[in-house]
Structure 1
Amino acid sequence: MQNKWKLATQTIHAGHQKNSEGALVSPLCQSATFVFDNAEQGGARFSGDEKGYVYTRLGNPTTAELERKMAVLEGSEDAVAMASGMAAVSSALLANLKQGDHLVASKAVYGCTFSLMTGQLAKFGIQVTLVDFNDHHAICAAIKPETKVLFCETPVNPHLDVFDLSAIADIAKRYSLISIVDNTFMTPLLQRPISHGIDIVVHSATKYLNGHGDVIAGVVCASKAQMEVIKYEILKDFGGVISPHDAWLILRGLKTLDVRLERHCDNAEKVAQFLDMHPLVSKVYYPGLDYHDGHGLVGTQMKRAGGVIAFELNASLEQAILFVNRLSLIAIAVSLGDAETLIQHPASMTHSPYSLDERAEAGISDSLLRISVGLESVEDIIEDLNQALASIDYYRTELIAEIEHTIE
């Protein structure tokens, strides 16, 4: 029966197992280690001959429930929860790359993912080529005999490019590659990459999955074979282990994911329309707008366009900073998927690991801003944006007046 439940129902019920006390809410197993009945049992669990918990770095009942739930939601055989989104990204890559291998990735990704790929992986002798994943010929042209993995985000952080997952999966299968997709912006309720043929899905669970801005965590979803390597080789030895309390908080947050996403998407659509019509906004990047290049994938690959918007101001960097500083309701902070609406300046914040030339190549300008639209009344969000945009007009008027006075 559970397999027939809708995803909204699964966010609440999937993975939950009845406990001996009959508690409705899953117990938090805040324990580092587990006691064996005898020495023989301890040896059997370490060898894998007997199932059971040994040490929380190798597994924990609370974490296991989160992993079962995420596997159901993403439609994967298994899942592994980790201490951060970057632990998830790095584990998925390290499980499938070794010295001498080659990775092809989209040229715009989260700043720390970019830093990992272009900086840290080079220390292990792993080559990386960055290309536009909307250009399928460019992807194929970048593939070498040593290539092992294709990696992308969709929508892309920060400018919301959308990639065709079925096409990327087809390329990966044609060349016998592993495909990895960061699904953080969408969550499995809006997009399920595995159903389009993608091999591995990663999440920063810090964002929408938790939804309350009080947890740092990540999740990887894939086949049991992939999860065995990631959990018992990469995670065990590198140690990016999620705490049981954080896993418990994400389980709690997931129960409201469906209703939160509906509000995030509703609000984002209205905010995007407001920004699109404002004369001081030169461009809005949001798949929900009908002129966006990826709009055709909304309603097919993506259930809705999500809650994140990027936009360019028709203003100088100084004026853009003035605009951000004049916001009162909207918080200046990185991250996304929280109840609060957040704004950040990618070039100087999340994507600061990029050089000036790399930012230009990735399409990240100095006037680009990214908003994670929250759960507040959308009228209040728009009013805050409107009054801050008015400050740019005021600034320009004052500057013109000052120039004219100087000339006189």
Structure 2
Amino acid sequence: MADAKSVNLPLASKKRSSGPEEFDGGDDFYKNPKKPSFLPPSSSSWGDHDPAAALASARHEFGEHGGVNMSIEASATFTVMEPETMRRMFAGELGPDRDFFVYSRHFNPTVLNLGRQMAALEGTEAAYCTASGMSAISSVLLQLCSSGGHIVASRTLYGGTHALLTHFLSRACGITTTFVDIRDHDSVRDAIVQGRTKVLYFESMSNPTLTVANTPVLAGIAHEKGVTVVVDNTFAPMVLSPAKLGADVVVHSISKFISGGADIIAGAVCGPASLVNSMMDLHQGALMLLGPTMNAKVAFELSERIPHLGLRMKEHCRRALTFAQRLKGTGLKVVYPGLEDHPDHDLLASLSNKEYGFGGIMCVDMGTEEKANKFMHILQNQTQFGFMAVSLGYYETLMSCSGSSTSSEMNEEEQQLAGISPGLVRMSIGYVGTVEQRWGQLEKALSKLQEHGKN
């Protein structure tokens, strides 16, 4: 490309020719056959991270014929020109750093590009993208914990994660979990068993109660005892950067805010290159052997959405704060970290990346499941404010009663300990329509709810 240099971005490496393979030049992708070097360190600094600037500085992939968008590498398998090349790839001597690929469950150029973007977003050395958020979470925990291992985790987690920790890992792997109030730092410290606890796991902003974890303090406690800190940042991309705050590993359900279209299921593991390397090990890597492979076409679509994630998050957050403040003024019980009376308001303000607000999700506690369901029914079917659906990060508002939906894997006692009331309505605030139009729909729904209560 004649004008490539004027872009002033790190560019993709030159494609190798279709002729005999050249093995000279550059560092081996696999420094050791058993310990692959997955990716070079990210250009972003761990200690001083601006997600928008890091994304803008990430390497830009151009299309095969000079298109500003990259090409999609949809092949499941890749050819070589010489038999010796394949032997050397399987021996770990040649790899994707010099454009040698074997099979897309191992590495795929399009998926690797999305991984670079996710590493830039979270300020980590490397990232690997998976077929779902749960596959990312389960793969990390299985890589870090062996049979008989121990995890300390927050009581308030996404229901699927809670079920994984409570039921599946203990049954299938003998890995046990102690659940704690993540705000009670003494209980976190006391729950860690020296030499046995391998992971401290929590959500940066909890689902659905919107508890904000004090990641720097929690990381300090864990690291004192040699424990790896894994943080789910699904609720707060751009808003919080857990790796900057001391977390070792950041996981995502990319299906949510990062995708933004409610049309893709995907996940990511972001962390040190050494961890990602181990997860891709041919003999003992959880990602390699369990095979939660992301489709290259999905990776391409997501790569095209990440550049405007910052703009979307700002509007999600701006509207969530506006509606939370106005709903609180009506006398409803509103849970949102942007409200000054939220117990974690000051903490989030001190930890968050500036200009991105306090998150795009708010909760309204209607007291009972019956009243919550009536409220959502009116909002969707009579005033068209949003949709009754799980997930989050969509451009339309999505709402659900958490206790009977996304947290239903937890029993009544577990929900009470997690602070999830039967009438808690979780709202992922969208950004289509005008603010005043949407507020009018909310007000109309509240009026109808009051009328219903009188009858």
Shared topology, TM-score over 0.5?
yes
Partners in 2 of 1:230 and 1:223 — Cα distance? 11
Runs of 4+ in 1 over 4 A off after TM superposition: 1-6
Residue 238 of structure 1 corresponds to: 290
Shift of 1:43: 1.3
Residue 119 of structure 2 corresponds to: 71
Residue 199 of structure 2 corresponds to: 149
Residue 65 of structure 2 corresponds to: 21
* 1:76-110 deviations in Å (ceiling 9; x for gaps): 11100000000111111111001111100000000
Shift of 1:393: 1.0
1:259 paired with 2:307, answer no
Residue 289 of structure 1 corresponds to: 339
1:309 paired with 2:359, answer no
Q: Which amino acid aligns with 2:393?
A: G
* 1:197-245 deviations in Å (ceiling 9; x for gaps): 1100001101111111111000011111100122331111111111111
Partners in 2 of 1:265 and 1:21 — Cα distance? 39
Residue 180 of structure 2 corresponds to: 131
Classify the secondary structure of the residue corresponding to 1:298: helix
Residue 193 of structure 1 corresponds to: 242
* 1:27-72 deviations in Å (ceiling 9; x for gaps): 1111111111121111111221011211110011110100111112
Partners in 2 of 1:200 and 1:213 — Cα distance? 25
Shift of 1:383: 2.1
Residue 175 of structure 1 corresponds to: 225
1:101 paired with 2:132, answer no
Whether the aligned pair in 1 keeps the contact of 2:54 and 2:123 (CA below 8 Å) is no
Residue 91 of structure 2 corresponds to: 47
Partners in 1 of 2:402 and 2:59 — Cα distance? 36
Q: 1:102 to 1:7 in 2, by over 3 A?
A: closer
Partners in 2 of 1:13 and 1:140 — Cα distance? 38
Whether the aligned pair in 1 keeps the contact of 2:231 and 2:249 (CA below 8 Å) is yes
Aligned match for 1:373, one of 418, 421, 429: 429
| Greater mean deviation of Cα atoms: 366-375 or 38-47 | 38-47
Partners in 2 of 1:316 and 1:262 — Cα distance? 32
Partners in 2 of 1:333 and 1:317 — Cα distance? 16
User: Percent identity among equivalent residues?
Assistant: 35
Partners in 2 of 1:372 and 1:380 — Cα distance? 17
Q: Which runs of 5+ in 1 are unaligned?
A: 399-408
Residue 158 of structure 1 corresponds to: 208
Residue 265 of structure 2 corresponds to: 216
Classify the secondary structure of the residue corresponding to 1:272: helix
Partners in 2 of 1:293 and 1:22 — Cα distance? 52
1:325 paired with 2:380, answer no
Partners in 1 of 2:291 and 2:66 — Cα distance? 33
Classify the secondary structure of the residue corresponding to 1:104: strand
Residue 449 of structure 2 corresponds to: 392
Classify the secondary structure of the residue corresponding to 2:128: strand
Shift of 1:297: 2.2
Q: Which amino acid aligns with 2:52?
A: A
Shift of 1:153: 0.2
Q: Which runs of 5+ in 2 are unaligned?
A: 1-7, 10-42
Classify the secondary structure of the residue corresponding to 1:70: helix
Shift of 1:298: 3.0
Whether the aligned pair in 1 keeps the contact of 2:210 and 2:335 (CA below 8 Å) is yes
Aligned match for 1:248, one of 300, 318, 328: 300
Shift of 1:381: 2.4
| Greater mean deviation of Cα atoms: 158-167 or 300-309 | 300-309
Whether the aligned pair in 1 keeps the contact of 2:89 and 2:102 (CA below 8 Å) is yes
Classify the secondary structure of the residue corresponding to 1:201: strand
Partners in 1 of 2:151 and 2:50 — Cα distance? 36
Classify the secondary structure of the residue corresponding to 2:72: coil
Q: Which amino acid aligns with 2:290?
A: F
1:298 paired with 2:337, answer no
Residue 339 of structure 1 corresponds to: 395
Shift of 1:6: 5.7
Partners in 1 of 2:438 and 2:79 — Cα distance? 52
Q: CA RMSD in A?
A: 1.6
Residue 405 of structure 1 corresponds to: none
Partners in 1 of 2:136 and 2:304 — Cα distance? 20
Shift of 1:20: 4.1
Report 1:267-278 matches (<5 A).
267-278=319-330
Whether the aligned pair in 1 keeps the contact of 2:64 and 2:71 (CA below 8 Å) is no
Shift of 1:192: 1.0
Q: Which amino acid aligns with 1:217?
A: A
| Greater mean deviation of Cα atoms: 15-24 or 175-184 | 15-24
